[in-house]
Chain A
Amino acid sequence: MIPKGFLKFVVKRTVLLLISLVVAVYISILLANFGGLIDEMVKSDLLMSITMNVRNNPAFQGLTASEKQKIIDSMYQAALEARGLNTPFLIRSLYHLKNALTLDLGTALYLTSDSGSKQVRLIILERLPQTIMLFTSVTIINFFTTLLGGLLIARKYGSKIDRAISALAPTSVIPGWVYGIFLILIFYTWLHILPPGGMVDYPPPKDPVLYSLSVLKHMVLPMLSWIIAGLFLGLYSNRTFFLIFSTEDYVEVAKAKGLPPRQVDMGYVMRPTLPSIITGLSFAIIGSWGGAIITETVFDWPGLGMLLASALSYPDPPVIVGEVAIYAWLLTLTVLTLDIIYAFLDPRVKVWGG
């Protein structure tokens, strides 16, 4: 039977997290819409776009100014109505909130999915696989490389490699896309062996296996740029993290007992740090789903980062809010799950009486 205190804790955490979720999403709605100011921008954009379309359309070139204006007015009014811009922002913001919380993300103002849909849900879902394929893979590779590497280096504290990693750690302040540019220069401009960007060869191979291999080839440079960017700081952080834990009394006792180093690492260093590692991994994976705006732009990779960049530059609030809402939900559920797991498993977290 589940203890009452535990249930109370879960309910309390859930309510608090849901309140945070609602507040965060509503703030993001207000921010994405500039508190309603975006309406004016969108109206200006629509007006200018429609006006220039009509003025530049060869079919309308022979019309008089008043004839052209009739067309512009009609198209403009229809565009406003289709986007709900004739409803006050405050009312629309509540609709947006309801939609975001129920993950009914509605339709985008300008953007379409690559396959032509205006459903925000589809726009985001369409980009997610590319982002997961690239950035989640890199995140997982980076996470485990730096985790295990950090553990090994922690064992060799003060060695040449330890000092080298410590010295190289500051290079991680350079963002991945800068490495990306250098990698393009080396592997495309100079060696001409890897593509400078894009997702697949042109023309795309018809055979699915060759197509997949082509995509993998295009992933090499962006992945490498992120791996290089995160490697040294990741190794240094994990090495420091494990060093702190490896000086705990119970580890010293285990060492004194003569246990093999591997057993000490796994049983006495890794095990107590597991909650932190799981937390770190969970957030890293969720974080990777946001993509990387500049890296995706440099490598012309069609992920969520480029989508967000487009949504911000248009601006297209429903898409921005959609991304935020999905991210907020994932974060909330992850935090709640981790809270429950820790409450249940970690003896240091005490949520019921006794």
Chain B
Amino acid sequence: MIRKMIRQGLKNNIAVCAASILILLMLFQALAPAVTTISAPEEYTIYKYGWFDEVVFFRVTEAAKAVEMMEKGDMDIYFKDIGDPALFRRVRESPALSYDFSYGLYNELTFNPVGPTTLDGKFNPFYNPKIREAMNMLVDRQYIVDEIMGGLAIPKFVPVCNGFPDYKRHESVIKSIEANYAYNFDKAKQIIFEELAKEPDVEYKDGKWLYKGEPIVLKFIIRTEDTRRQIGDYVSTQLEKLGFTVDRQYKTSREASPIWMRGNPAEGRWHLYTGGWVTTVVSRDDSDNFQFFYSDKSGMASISPLWASYKPSPEFSELADKLAEKKFTTIEERTAWMSRAFELALKDSVRVWLVDQTAAWVKRKEINAVADYSGGYWVGIWAFTLNRGGTRGGSVKIGSSDVLTGDAWNPISGSNWIYDGMVSSATGMPAFLSDPKSGLPIPTGFVKSVTIEAVKGLLTFQNPESQNWLTLTFVDSVTIPSDAWYAWDVENKKVVTAGEAGVTSAKVKIVAEYEDIIGKIEYHDGTVMSLADWVWSWPINFERASDKSPLYDEAYVGSFQSWREVFKAWRIVSEHPLKIEWYTDYTNMDAELIASAYVGLAGPWHTTAIGVKAEEKGVLAFGQDKAMKKNVEWMNYIAGPSLEILSTTLDEAIAEGYIPFKELNSRYITVEEARARYNALKKWYTTYKHFWVGAGPYYLEVADVMAKTAVLKPFRKLLQRELVISVEGGGTTDPEPGTHEYLGRETVTITAKPGFLSILEKWVVDGVEKEASASITVTTDKPHTVRAVFRIWYEAIAGIVAVIVVIVIVAVLFLRKKKK
């Protein structure tokens, strides 16, 4: 995804000159001072059924054009960050626009650590860690921030992002490092000169550093797609001031990566490179960054000769490994290790970190949007929070640099482009959202509580934010019940229980108590969640990882194995309300993230089932790599040739009464229920021409892949049901007669309130007469009409008359008797 995002930027290179002219022509405003202000966290309100009546996504590749459109009111919000300082100044001064910031893009200098000489016999000064360390002081990061990034950046010294949890946890150490390595050209020069003076055959002559009489040439690969070009020029100038000869090699990503990443650094084809990295989520645990960025033990080393050439000090190497494997046992130990690792990272400096970029996200002022600290506007929470002035209804137009990329949408292994995800995420209902600032899970209202039992000694903690839904306790041991499901036997098509597998213990037990959601939550196509939605897919993971299954996908095996190593078993404890237990060895420093890793909401089984059937037939494949290998279409639920194949498969499923993995699921799904689900999907497909069904705040109404536009409509429009209550005769009801609107399936009790001398004669529900009873219950599964028919209570009147007559007679008789 990240690579694709970067690539998207590169893809538009051709337009750069066009865009530049456009920007220049459009930017008449005077330049304003640079900014570094970070906006304060804003309040936001989560609404689960779609704030807007219509959400329109469309593609606008050029940020300048997007800003123009937002000013004119043709676009409300741009789901892409703006990195151009000049354009940002225009945004800042526009009375119609407002903005937020996100973080997660960062730049560094990557050094070739091989030396002192490379295979071509040339001298590489960056083999020396002290020279690399001194480079930290040679570069004025504040200059880069102010003069190159136009204020849209923060100086960076360590391999964690400013503001991320691990930065905050170790802020005092990092601040001290920032002070120690602050820009100091003279000190850097002194260290570098001292170190070079120690080298044989190296001399400083006439202001130039020479090796064996020849100038020391530093081959500097400078990326050209963004501000790294200017950064590269600035660093080159600093190095030239020291007496080095710099060969500035301007290259694009595709030209540079075979040299710096895949090439052998010993060949000496480069000495420095302007690196750039992205993180799209607020990372709460960056303890593996030291191994990843600095060590020959990094996973990158198996494929990249550069990483293989890293030689961190034994202390740093050991520390990086221990942190990466999370071998700390207390938070104090972790803090101590991390603090030391930060210091050693600066001593090693195969990377010199330069800046954390601040990306600006722009919208019209009247739009309320939540900017994720790392991901900006386009992360999943937008669908629950984006609104106009806090009111429901209306339309919002969202631009982005791409929409509907063309990668397939499917529920198993579809597109991982953020440009697709920003649309598709609005159609699914998660159990948790990610807090935009802290990255911690926020329940969406379907999970009542989660209890985690962790074995004593496990390094996990609960944050104060989760007190209202999470309970963490530590226990001596976690025992797995023998009836919990451990695996799926692909060959014999049966569930393997923990008892059968001999799996008895785990490190963590997670118990989720849901609201009473079975039979209540509806999917977009009108079908209702059943227990089958929770259990049916259990075999899929195992089938996809087994070469004995038609669903086997080689690309999935690694993920499966990692999951299998930690996941032990699970079981459903009760259906009403739903209660599920998971047993696992997975751990995380934040207990909330252990919960959110397992506690979810089930999607509709029948939509995925037709995909399973299609893949079993070998006509489509969920995974891209498998599709390429098998020369079939990558299964796409929203467009393309897949639709016809899926439609045919759906018809077959209806005809057969297909139940996926029937050995398991025929216990939970009847043929009639299956057909009813498939028919609902068929109706959906006939209406909307796609198979993308969820339970999220919005449903996909239009996916115009050619015009690069998608239209979403709020789920509440499908869920809104009218209950029309009327009365006949003397009386009323509670709720009162009239039209009442309900969202989704609610159980409404209507009580008859007969008027004086009236009585309820009958109820008429949807034209069908029902017996008279004091109250009647209606489930708002569709629009209903209820009529309460009252009639005069003749019996009572007769009784009253009779009583009166009797009283009169008695009175008359009494009076007569008295007269006598």
Contacts and interface: CB of A to CB of B under 8 A. Distances in A.
Contact of B59 (A67, A75, A198): A198
B706 A199 contact: yes
A81 interface: yes
A202 B397 contact: yes
A207 to B, nearest CB: 13
A44 B261 contact: yes
B588 A302 contact: no
A72 B299 contact: yes
A78 B58 contact: no
A60 B416 CA distance: 15
B387 interface: no
Contact of B640 (A51, A115, A178): A115
Interface stretch (B478-486, B626-634, B750-758): B626-634
B565 to A, nearest CB: 7
Contacts of A313: 7, 10-11, 13-14, 254
A307 to B, nearest CB: 10
Interface residues of B, number: 101
Interface stretch (B277-285, B357-365, B669-677, B679-687): B277-285
A229 interface: no
A350 B702 CA distance: 60
B558 A71 contact: yes
A204 B14 contact: no
Contacts of B2: 49, 52-53, 56
Interface in A300-320: 300, 302, 309-310, 313-315
B257 A41 contact: yes
A115 B639 contact: yes
Contact of B639 (A81, A116, A185, A204): A116
A76 B639 CA distance: 27
Contacts, number: 259
Interface in B552-569: 553-555, 557-559, 561-562, 565-566
A273 B559 CA distance: 68
Contact of A204 (B10, B59, B625, B707): B707
Nearest to A113: B406
Contact of A75 (B61, B258, B559): B559
Nearest to B17: A294
Given A70-B561, A294-B18, A310-B11, A64 B288 contact: yes
B557 A58 contact: no
Nearest to A77: B554
Contact of B15 (A79, A117, A298): A298
A48 interface: yes
A59 interface: yes
Interface of B: 1-4, 7, 10-15, 17-18, 21-22, 25-26, 54, 56, 58-61, 65, 68-69, 72, 254, 257-258, 261-262, 277-281, 283-285, 288, 291-292, 297-300, 302-304, 324-326, 397, 404-409, 416, 434, 553-555, 557-559, 561-562, 565-566, 586-588, 593-594, 597, 624-629, 631, 633-634, 636, 638-642, 702, 704-709, 711
Given A53-B1, A181-B21, A198-B707, 20 more contacts: A44-B257, A48-B3, A52-B2, A60-B562, A63-B562, A64-B288, A65-B288, A69-B302, A78-B553, A111-B406, A114-B705, A117-B641, A178-B21, A181-B25, A196-B69, A199-B708, A203-B54, A294-B15, A313-B11, A313-B13
20 contacts: A41-B258, A47-B300, A48-B257, A63-B566, A64-B288, A65-B288, A66-B299, A79-B555, A81-B625, A82-B625, A112-B407, A115-B640, A116-B636, A198-B709, A200-B707, A203-B709, A204-B702, A294-B15, A302-B707, A313-B7
